[in-house]
Chain A
Amino acid sequence: MGTDRYAAMFARLAARDELAFVPFFVLGDPSMDESLALISAAVEAGADGLELGLPFSDPIADGPAVQSAVTRALDAGTRISACWPLLRAVRDAHPTVPIGLLVYANLIVHAGVEAFAAQCATAGVDSVVIPDAPSLEQRWFAEAFARAGVALARILPPGAAASRVAEVARASAGYVYVTSRGGVTGADDTVQADSASVVAALRAAGAAPALLGFGIAQPSHVRAARAMGVSGAISGSAVVSRIGAHETAPARREAVTAFVREMKAATRP
């Protein structure tokens, strides 16, 4: 079941009063050859879970850093068909690490929802989050992913209405992706929105544990996340901009390792 690895991860971390640290990568960034090595470097440096994005031509929920990562991946010739074996390789290398797949709706619709969900299961993906499928459009996807045993994670923005929080709590599986800012993904100087009330409402409604994302770029943000009561933090733009900033594969690997270590350290009490 797609929620088992998340449940095990959250239980293990809760016992130590630690937050989860979940870095985000675009598959195929900067190239297919290097992707697995970078992702593995993050796990070896302490990443508890992974959020991996399929590169899509029109990432409307993403800011400049992730857009650049997507462009790097697509310009390097990354094919979706090649991302499935890559995902399987990540799964085989890290059998207990929860893997979330971030994918824009068109890539799913194009493949066919049933076929796509089945492929996620085969590749060992635990959860899928669709940034351009809000509550209103979840019905397109929910059944097929449930049948395939892949959790459909949901995104909840700051200031979400109580009715939406309740609905997301009810439907949530694996984790709930609580965003810490309005707008699109990006690396911020400070955590912009206080999501404590959304997180409390989720918990009261019995939702899956919350991960805070969008803008998380520094150890202090992880501590702010803890203060909001979430169970972990997702960091995307800060990871992929490090990949973009270095010229050689060893330098990229080193930068990712150092960043994940630093962020993971901040998850400890």
Chain B
Amino acid sequence: MIQSAYYGRFGGSFVPEILVPALESLEAEFLAAQADPTFGAELETLLSTYAGRATPLYQCRHLGTETGSRLWFKREDLLHGGAHKTNQALGQGLLARRLGKTRLIAETGAGQHGVATALTGAVLGIPTRIYMGAADIERQQPNVQRMRLMGAEVVPVTQGGATLKAAINEALRDWSASYESTHYLLGTVAGPHPFPLIVREFQRVIGREARAQFLAATGRLPDVVVASVGGGSNAIGIFTDFIPDPSVELVGVEPAGEGLQTPRHGATLQRGRPGVLHGCFTQILQDDEGQVQESHSISAGLDYPGVGPEHAYLQETGRARYVGCTDADAMAAFSLVARSEGIIPALESAHAVAGALELARSSARPLDILVNLSGRGDKDLATVLRYQAEGGNGGH
């Protein structure tokens, strides 16, 4: 490897030896692409003319006004595909083409990364297979249909909890047999180096735009930047360009599920221990012997017992802090955003909104809070309606 694979003590490339050459050539090609203006120009064109960048920065008209603070949404929900995932799927798709790969595989939880990979495969003309936990297939049906409509093959994974963790296991197994022809389009800032680096670099456009938009709108920087954290890609995407700004607080919101005092949550950074999962050394939810545990969240996209290694590092250095939001609080924020702003947020993004509202309510002074509204919530309607019908218990 050319670049360091580590963020402090976190990161690395814990994969079977057979995958190392694939990771090395991916890293080399990524670095070459970054230095190649024609690569940047093609990605730029796709992002603007196809995916709809730049996304707007919106100042909420009603939400949180009673607290005296101002909430701002970075509208990744308006991106083609319905979530921030498209930013980096297109980037990796172009990389795959540069590498001469003729097949894409990906894992997906909420189905948003699967949709982003499916549209990338369609627009670049590369056959695509998506591994998805059977439990997630059930709770994210609209996205399964969208992937199939765009020509992707969706393969159910039934092992383990049949969610994102099992889907990543299966994608890694596929890749270790197919890497010569296939690019593994990993969906978040986790996994072995160079994925956390590549995904961050393709997602940092969120924070780059938002920082400039915020400065243009207010003449200053926000006090706090808030994002939900599953694997951590939308959070890294919006955090990265604010990291050098010491006045800007960075807050990640993890899924607290049924509560951090219960075993049913996905709050890896708050309740995990350092360990190795899916190719990197990071914080993971594990039992007293090192078996990785099943996480729980009502939000399929946050339902993951690991987290990107750079978040573990940002937490350890204190540059970012991580808080929890329960299923119930996320549901409440979901409804509030819909009614007060006419925006239906993804349940993942609703976690970030709930975290932002909590900060606004508990702050002694008015704050400008920038929230990454990472995706839209159409995919979650069935989950929300079931949750409401069952009087507050819509998890799996």
Contact = CB atoms under 8 A, between A and B. Distances in A.
Contact of A60 (B5, B169, B273, B274): B169
A155 B16 contact: yes
Interface of A: 56-63, 67, 71, 74, 79-81, 104-107, 109-111, 131-137, 154-157, 160-161, 164, 179, 181-184
Nearest to A158: B18
Contacts of B143: none
A134 B16 contact: yes
Interface stretch (B30-38, B132-140, B171-179, B216-224): B171-179
Given A134-B15, A137-B13, 17 more contacts: A58-B165, A59-B169, A60-B169, A62-B173, A79-B289, A81-B289, A106-B277, A107-B290, A109-B276, A110-B275, A131-B16, A134-B14, A134-B19, A135-B20, A155-B16, A155-B17, A157-B18
Interface string B122-157: 000000000000000000000000000000000000
Contacts of A183: 18, 173, 176-178
A179 B18 contact: yes
B343 interface: no
Interface stretch (B55-63, B279-287, B355-363, B379-387): B279-287
B312 to A, nearest CB: 13
Given A132-B276, A134-B20, A183-B176, A106 B12 contact: no
B290 A106 contact: yes
Q: Is the interface of B mostly helix, strand, loop or mixed?
A: mixed
**What is the size category of the interface that chain B forms with chain A?**
35 or more
B135 to A, nearest CB: 16
B8 interface: no
A56 B177 contact: no
B242 to A, nearest CB: 31
Interface in B270-318: 273-279, 281, 284, 286, 289-293
A111 B276 CA distance: 12
Contact of A136 (B18, B20, B179, B289): B20
Nearest to A63: B173
Given A58-B278, A106-B286, A184 B177 contact: yes
